[in-house]
Amino acid sequence: MLKSRIFWRNVTYGLLWLATLSGVVVLMSFIEVKKSTLVCTKVHIIMPGNQYFIDKEEVDNILGLNSNSLIGRRLVNINLHALENKLKGNPFVETASVYADMDGVIMVELSQRRPMMRMMNRFDQDFYVDQHGLKVPISGNFTAKVLVANGYIDELFANRVDSLRTPIAKALFATADYIRKDTLWSAQIAQIYVNQDHEIELIPRVGNQRILLGNADSLATKFKNLLAFYKQALPQVGWVAYKAINIKYINQVIGIKNDNLKRDTAAAKPAVTDSATITSTPTRDTLKTIKN
């Protein structure tokens, strides 16, 4: 008796699974038949953000909405994958997705690259660097308000999306990335300059002095020392007292007076014995300056 019940229960479960599978097959067949008759009724473009290297008109051109309209064509005759690859081929597009819904609407979702820095190399080439450290061409549609880096920069640009190659370009990216993530320094630093010694200098918005950063090592410590100098040394002498502030060495800050400034501030080599060591909580007495 028990075996009979188990047998019929298994038969019942098998029939239910068969009925479900048959229903799925019928539904999929119905969907395929409907898709074969669906025509494109609309193209809906979604681009989040409010800064555009490319606008919807340019997206329309890439998709062929002007010369060879998609609207009115059967979806089975539209290669959505090819349209998606066209969008991805644009240097300003970071991600792109193209698909159609059951109402015949082609959905186009794309995100654009976000510039973080504008780099001008010593060969008069001009390009952006995005948040991933990739080189991106300049756009005729949009000018991003980002940090500008110029000077003796050897990084070449082949007018296509590419990664950074040279050590100085990577150091500039690390510096710009640190600055943009800090509200204080993103408001204070206006420009980055690379001098003949391939050392980094920062140009502030407030004050006429150059900030000698050197390289991109220990950025958190260097900027912490700079902040301490701003708070404790400059209020005593004023913003115009120094032509350069040297923070290249992580254990000291050196203010170089205006009267004896050398032509290339980055070439100044102050005597360590005359400079001040800055601790994690410096006092006024530790922030001494020297004349070079």
Check residue 256 and give its pLDDT.
87
Report the domain count for the chain.
2
- pLDDT at residue 242 is higher than 90: no
Q: Select the more confidently predicted residue: 289 or 101.
A: 101
Last residue of a domain, one of 112, 147, 169: 112
* Percent of the chain whose predicted confidence (pLDDT) is above 70: 74
Confidence band, pLDDT 50/70/90 cuts, at residue 291: very low
Domain that holds residue 78: 42-112
Check residue 148 and give its pLDDT.
96
> Concatenated DSSP letters for the chain?
-HHHHHHHHHHHHHHHHHHHHHHHHHHHHHHHHHHHH-B--EEEEE--SS--SS-HHHHHHHHTTTTS--TTSBGGGS-HHHHHHHHHTSTTEEEEEEEE-TTSEEEEEEEE--EEEEEE-TTS-EEEEETTSEEEPPPSS-----EEEEES------SS-EE--SHHHHHHHHHHHHHHT-HHHHHHEEEEEE-TTS-EEEEESSSS-EEEEESSTTHHHHHHHHHHHHHHTHHHH-TTSEEEEE--STTEEEEEESTT--SSGGG----GGGSEE--SS--GGG---B--
Which CATH number does the domain housing residue 137 bear? Answer: 3.40.50.11690
Region 173-189: what's the mean pLDDT?
A: 96
Do 107 and 129 lie in a common domain?
Answer: no
Confidence band, pLDDT 50/70/90 cuts, at residue 55: confident
Region 115-132: what's the mean pLDDT?
A: 96
Do 258 and 127 lie in a common domain?
Answer: yes
Check residue 68 and give its pLDDT.
62
Per-residue model confidence as pLDDT tens digits over 190-240: 999 999 999 999 999 988 889 999 999 999 999 999 999 988 888 887 777
Do 195 and 256 lie in a common domain?
Answer: yes
Check residue 66 and give its pLDDT.
66
In a domain, 207, yes or no: yes
Which CATH number does the domain housing residue 59 bear? Answer: 3.10.20
Do 100 and 145 lie in a common domain?
Answer: no
pTM of the model: 0.74
Per-residue model confidence as pLDDT tens digits over 92-106: 999 999 999 888 999
In a domain, 164, yes or no: yes
